Structure 1
């Protein structure tokens, strides 16, 4: 029988992961992991795949997809050890789902637009989950899904937009700013007088209002924070290069002086490059 390189490579990966999880000669770190402890790595690897795609570097995309695939195989291996499910069941399940939800490809249904494809998908999905179309059309059903499954900044923007679309909205931007100052005051109060849980709740309220401010000004808070993170790292790299001894040997005032100088230099360089 002719060998299939893809299946052979996948089988090899499965065997490697099984060995890493083996009580006899396996890796202590891998053996210590659970489905729950690995969830941060799934998210991290997914973001690294997206970052690689943005660079259009095919070798980086291939490598990062491999790291993401490892997380799936690891989850399947751990689940199989307690007889929950196997990698085969994962693959079979998603294959059958795709066939069910694409009757216009694998059945006799005819569609004339992408919107029809989406509507059919949602109807089939609702039937599979035992839900009525009325339930799935409720806005709260969609908002809850956003809150549960999306990264918080993305979820916050989608939730606020959907709520605004049905009229749950401030009359003007002034109202949003008033809410911002109200939440900022409540956050300050919580930091002085409330429990850590209440402080975190107030911080969440403040962040949600900032997301709404971004929406009103047609700004992308996720992209903004993404750029700020990169900008900070660039400046911090320059800070390390400018220092001739460990950063801990400098005073806060000395580091701040160097930091501000670096900011001015980078800003001036950006002005020159943009001309």
Structure 2
């Protein structure tokens, strides 16, 4: 069994590691922590590795929360892709990358005595316990909708001035629309049934058609068009929520389907010695329809 000694020398709480490092171009003589066999030891192993890298790797030493931010977003999208592809081996790898980033942020914060990984883990555990009074308290719920309503009410008691305050401003618009609608529903501001929502979709579509289905040479008020089109999209996203479709996932699957079919079109054109830009739409449609049947 491998034992870890925790230290607070630099204001953080991490497993103690060997600090012997030769000031040369050679690699430091560290022995990687042994593979763990249980969750706690595995997490300590990650902390140990990150502590060593942060102390002695030139790249890791230079990183800040700001420099890691875009990399974290990239890793999250890679995880999302792996999930949509159903590739569990890749999901495992990408989860590890995301986990490493989370630990890295806590490691950076600990260096200035802001918080440690222990603070992070205790904070999320405390929040989960507090927001699940039907599990850890005496509150009774009938279904998941009751759980969501309680969740939003608890967040308001915790200090959020608005139900929508918890929606990150930087979310992609499609995801943000879904989160806004979910949070509004959490306090009872919602349609009664999907028929009402679909009626709203048709209403918004008709308004858009009447306003902007014009001849090609007619000028269009782009600002107004965007506003009406946004209303239409918001309604469609709302309908998707009512029939338990994740609009982000649905659109991404369509993106992947289009890419696959278009790449088939490209490959068939190349096989026949043709360039897409020199082909007619009718010629391209032949290959496109072949791709649809695959």
Is TM-score (shorter-chain normalized) higher than 0.5? yes
Structure 1 residue 50: Cα displacement: 3.4
After TM superposition, list the pairs within 5 Å mapping 1:1-275 onto structure 2. Answer: 5-22=38-55, 25-28=56-59, 30-129=60-159, 131=160, 136=162, 141-142=163-164, 145-146=166-167, 148=169, 150-156=171-177, 171=203, 173-178=205-210, 185-187=220-222, 208=230, 211-212=233-234, 214=236, 222=248, 223-224=250-251, 226-232=253-259, 235-236=262-263, 239=266, 254-257=275-278, 264-271=286-293, 273=294
**Aligned-partner Cα distance in 1 for 2:92–2:224:** 42
- In structure 2, what is the Cα distance between the partners aligned to 1:17 and 1:100? 31
More helix by proportion, 1 or 2? 1
Distance 1:8 1:263, change over 3 A: farther
Identify unmatched segments of 5+ residues in structure 2: 4-36
1:197 — aligned with what? none
Cα RMSD over matched residues?
Answer: 4.3
Partners of 1:239 and 1:259 within 8 A in 2: no
Higher RCO, Cα 8 Å, sep 6+: 2
C-alpha spacing 1:117/1:232, structure 2 compared with 1 (3 Å): closer
Q: Secondary structure at the match of 2:107?
A: helix
Shift of residue 113, structure 1, vs aligned partner? 3.4
Instruction: Give the structure with higher Rg (CA).
Output: 2
The answer to whether the 8 A contact 2:54-2:61 is kept is yes
Q: Give the distance between the partners of 1:157 and 1:111, measured in 2 at CA.
A: 24
C-alpha distance in 2, partners of 1:172/1:14? Answer: 52
Deviation of 1:90 (Å) = 0.6
Shift of 1:229: 5.0
TM-score (norm 1): 0.64
Between the two proteins, the alignment pairs up a number of residues equal to 237
Which residue matches 1:193?
none
Q: Residue 93 of structure 1: CA displacement?
A: 0.5
Displacement of 1:19: 2.7
Tell me, in whole angstroms, the C-alpha distance in 2 between the residues paired with 1:17 and 1:210. 47
Do the aligned residues in 1 keep the contact of 2:106 with 2:116 (CA within 8 Å)? Answer: yes
Following the alignment from structure 1 to structure 2, what is the Cα–Cα distance between the partners of residues 233 and 36? Answer: 35
Asked whether the equivalents of residues 109 and 115 of structure 2 are also in contact (C-alpha less than 8 Å), the reply is yes
Contact persistence 2:208–2:228 (CA under 8 A): no
